[in-house]
Amino acid sequence: MKKKFKHKKLVIVLAIIVAAIIVLVGVAKRKLNSVAEATNIVQLEKVDKRDLSDFISLTGTVSGETKINYSSTAATEIKTVNVQVGDVVKEGDVIATLDKDSIQKQIDVLEKSLSNAAALKQNESNQNQRTLERAREDQKNQLAQANDSINSAEAAYTAAQNTVNSLNNQIKSVSDQVNAASDEDTKAALQEKLANLQDQLSGAKSDLTSADSARKEAKNNYSSVKSSTDDAIYSAQSSIESAKYNQTDDSDTQTQLDQLKKQLDDCTITSKSEGIVTAVNVSVGDVNTANATLVTVENNTDMIVNASVTEKDILKLQEGMKAIITSDALDDQEINGEIIKVVKVYNASQPTTEQTGKETSGAANTGGFSVQIKLDPCDLISGMSAKAKIVLTDRENVLSVPYDLVQQDEDGKSYVLCAEENKDGTYTAVKKNITVGDEINYYTEVTGGDLKAGDYIIMDYSISEGDTFQGERGSDVSETEDGGSTSVSSEVTAD
């Protein structure tokens, strides 16, 4: 009896377990069918107009648009420093002075040296010029004398020639008379006269030869005088020319003198423009290092923000882009600005390159790429931190769709699939051609085509044109309470 009762009890328990399993399977099946139905419902989104914007957020430091690093070429003692950090200076204010006395002494020594050298050069030049003038005068006198000697010799030669000719004529005449004489006494007297004339002729010929030699010697003497005096003139001229090239080169001394005079001028440092003193690097009594920055003055009216930019954003920025600047110092008051410089050269430390005493960029050292943003008049001062929002794209009240829903047909034309509601509550996918504009973040601007506000775009990529499906319209997040457009923006923050 007890065995039958136990068997019956076991059967009941097993029946209960089987029934529970059947119930659980049914519930699970119903849930699976519900999930399947849910997954077959296609999500739809209403097409509407939106405000689309895209911007980059940067951080940077405020500084004057320009600053001047004042320095001096004078390596001498600092006598006075008339400013402190924070002082406002005006154009023409004396910022600092340096010792002039030691520089002036060096100038005096060099000027005296150059003056003595110049006097020596002038004296040598005068002497050489006088030697040349004397050589020319000597040549003139000596040639005149030599020419006179030639003239005298020519005259003596001519006279000797005439004497010889005269005696020859006389001898011929007497010879004719001797031949014609018949009287012996007359003939003897004529012969004696003839012999006397022949003796005279012999002497006259000797004189003629001497005169001819004297004439030749006078001419040779002229040539000799001409040659020797030419040599003297050439020598004097060569001395003048050589002096030009053999003079001591004073260019180094003159260069040194010019540098010292510039240093003398640099001993008084005056402000070139109005601004605020942001750095004072020396004290009275210090010895200045040539060209080292003594004092820095920044423009305190025209301010800029120098902000670092990552490499992924630098190519998006251009000069002239508008910016909105905020700072904790002004309780996030918005200040308008404009990009005035885009630095597209990467520099790990980005040192500011400045020229002594010249206006330079007020950029701080940030590293990497950077931009400079000029600010509208504001109360920000140099050294403050600031945030900048650079507007890349700004579209108001434009029709747009999610960019990943835009497709292209075989002809390369863009289109989207929209849901057209049927009478039975289902939807059919229809193709609507569109003309696309800019792609701004998740959305693509629609500038033309068949699509209009109020259409429902299909959010399921598996749906094709002509497909019929169950659809569910999403919440109308694109509409505002006043019927206007919503705002969709994207912010890229520089690392």
Q: Distance (Å, rounded) from C-alpha 63 to C-alpha 276?
A: 11
- Residues 109, 113, 119, 121: what is their CA dihedral angle, to the nearest 10 degrees? -160
CATH of domain 103-252: 1.10.287
Q: Which residues contact 457 (CB under 8 A, 6 or more apart)?
A: 44, 45, 46, 47, 401, 402, 405, 416, 417, 418, 419
For β-strands 414-421 and 427-440, DSSP reports them as antiparallel
* DSSP-assigned beta bridge partners for residue 78: 98
What pLDDT was estimated at residue 250? 64
Tell me which of 2.30.110.10, 2.40.37.10, 2.40.420.20, 3.30.470.30 is the CATH number of domain 43-52+397-493: 2.40.420.20
HSE (side-chain half, CA atoms, 13 Å) at 99: 14
What is the DSSP-derived secondary structure letter of residue 273?
S
Q: Which residues contact 269 (CB under 8 A, 6 or more apart)?
A: 70, 72, 94, 95, 96, 97, 98, 294, 295
Q: Distance (Å, rounded) from C-alpha 460 to C-alpha 447?
A: 23
Structure tokens at 19: 């029934």
Structure tokens at 214: 């004297």
Angle at 120 between CA 115 and CA 122, to 5 degrees: 95
Q: Distance (Å, rounded) from C-alpha 44 to C-alpha 39?
A: 14
Q: Which pTM value belongs to this model?
A: 0.48
For β-strands 335-347 and 407-408, DSSP reports them as unpaired
Q: Distance (Å, rounded) from C-alpha 96 to C-alpha 77?
A: 11
What pLDDT was estimated at residue 102? 85
DSSP string, 9-58: HHHHHHHHHHHHHHHHHHHHHHHHHHHHHHHTEEEEEE-EEEEEEEEEEE
What pLDDT was estimated at residue 248? 59
Q: Report the candidate in 245, 246, 264 with the shortest Cα–Cα distance to residue 110.
A: 264
What pLDDT was estimated at residue 12? 65
Structure tokens at 356: 């002594």
pLDDT, tens digit only, all 495 positions of the chain: 444 445 556 556 566 776 666 656 454 444 434 333 444 799 999 999 988 888 889 999 998 888 899 999 998 999 999 999 989 999 999 999 999 988 888 888 888 887 777 777 777 788 888 988 999 999 999 999 999 999 999 999 999 999 999 999 999 998 999 888 888 888 888 889 889 999 999 999 999 999 999 999 999 999 999 999 999 999 988 888 887 776 655 677 888 888 888 988 989 999 998 889 989 999 999 999 989 999 999 888 888 999 999 888 899 899 999 999 999 998 879 999 999 999 988 866 543 333 334 444 444 444 579 999 999 999 888 889 999 999 888 888 999 999 999 999 999 999 999 999 999 999 999 999 999 988 887 899 999 999 999 999 999 889 999 999 999 987 654 444 344 445 545 454 444
Q: Under CATH, what is the fold of the domain 56-99+271-391?
A: Elongation Factor Tu (Ef-tu); domain 3 (2.40.30)
